[in-house]
């Protein structure tokens, strides 16, 4: 069989397959297409949800050395990591909302951090320290704008026993509960990571 003949047969076969794919209703029943579309939808949703859950784990968050050697190392000595109750907050608990729509919005927003990793924005300790203030301000602004939504993944003012808190904490929390003028991040900056130069932050 000549090469031209083989090519001609392959071309005809390709055209036949393309015709089938481009006009499926001529070859498959509506029921078959509906079931196929349903199965494809389930597979897409399953894959998407799996990817979402994988990227929402502490192992994923600390997979790059920038996070592992800087903010994760700073988290470990804090009460959010080790405490008498044994309840530990992971990276997603504090940086990703739990409800689905806010979680997706946060994931889209966080996608730019991948570019930061690829371009080495904070690839060394020195670069990280230089950008610490800017990074902290971004996170403070985000938490301020969403009323500390991630903090409230675990903490609920209305469930707090103020009588077991210090006098200052009791006064602040009861005032916030009553007036709603402030949010968690207003008073709790630096609770899990070292603070940048706050004076410099106030003058910007």
- Co-location of 87 and 38 in the same domain: yes
pLDDT of residue 6: 55
4 is a domain residue: no
- Co-location of 173 and 111 in the same domain: no
196 is a domain residue: no
pLDDT of residue 8: 72
pLDDT-based confidence at 201, cuts 50/70/90? Answer: low
Q: Nearest to residue 52, comparing CAs of 89, 105, 115?
A: 105
Number of domains the chain is built from:
2
pLDDT 10s digits, 111-130: 888 888 888 899 999 999 99
Whether 198 shows a pLDDT value over 90: the answer reads: no
Residue for token digits 């894959």?
Answer: 47
- Co-location of 70 and 140 in the same domain: yes
160 is a domain residue: yes
pTM comes to 0.70
User: Which CATH number do you get for residue 63?
Assistant: 1.10.3820
d(CA 68, CA 74): 9
Q: Nearest to residue 151, comparing CAs of 132, 173, 133?
A: 173
175 is a domain residue: yes
Share of the chain above pLDDT 70, in %: 82
125 is a domain residue: yes
Please give the average per-residue pLDDT across 14-20, as a whole number. 66
pLDDT of residue 40: 87
pLDDT-based confidence at 153, cuts 50/70/90? Answer: confident
d(CA 162, CA 185): 19
26 is a domain residue: no
pLDDT of residue 113: 83
pLDDT 10s digits, 54-102: 989 999 999 999 999 999 999 999 999 999 989 899 999 999 988 888 8
36: left (phi over 0), alpha (psi -120 to 50) or beta: alpha
- Co-location of 113 and 99 in the same domain: yes
Range of the domain at 180: 156-190
pLDDT 10s digits, 24-56: 555 556 666 678 778 888 888 888 888 888 989
- Co-location of 62 and 107 in the same domain: yes
61 is a domain residue: yes
Question: Of 136, 154, 172, which residue constitutes the final position of a domain?
Answer: 154
Instruction: Quote the tokens at residue 191.
Output: 């609770």
- Co-location of 143 and 169 in the same domain: no
- Co-location of 39 and 62 in the same domain: yes
Whether 7 shows a pLDDT value over 90: the answer reads: no
- Co-location of 168 and 76 in the same domain: no
- Co-location of 55 and 117 in the same domain: yes
Q: What phi, psi does 132 have (nearest 5°)?
A: -55, -45
């Amino acid at each position: 069989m000549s090469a031209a003949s083989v090519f001609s047969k392959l071309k005809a076969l390709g055209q036949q397959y393309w015709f089938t794919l481009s006009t499926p209703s001529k070859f498959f029943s509506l029921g078959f297409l509906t079931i196929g579309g349903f199965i494809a939808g389930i597979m897409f949703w399953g894959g998407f949800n799996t990817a979402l859950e994988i990227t929402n784990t502490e192992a994923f968050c600390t997979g790059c050395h920038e996070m592992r050697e800087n903010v994760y190392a700073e988290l470990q000595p804090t009460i959010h990591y080790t405490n008498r109750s044994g309840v530990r907050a992971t990276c997603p608990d504090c940086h990703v909302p739990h409800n689905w729509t806010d979680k997706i919005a946060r994931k889209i927003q966080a996608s730019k951090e991948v570019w930061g990793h690829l371009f080495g924005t904070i690839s060394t300790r020195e670069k990280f320290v230089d950008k610490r203030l800017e990074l902290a301000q971004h996170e403070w602004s985000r938490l301020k704008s969403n009323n500390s939504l991630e903090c409230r993944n675990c903490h609920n003012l209305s469930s707090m026993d103020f009588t077991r808190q210090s006098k200052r904490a009791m006064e602040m929390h009861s005032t916030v509960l009553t007036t709603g003028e402030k949010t968690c991040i207003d008073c709790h900056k630096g609770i899990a990571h070292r603070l940048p130069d706050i004076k410099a932050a106030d003058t910007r």
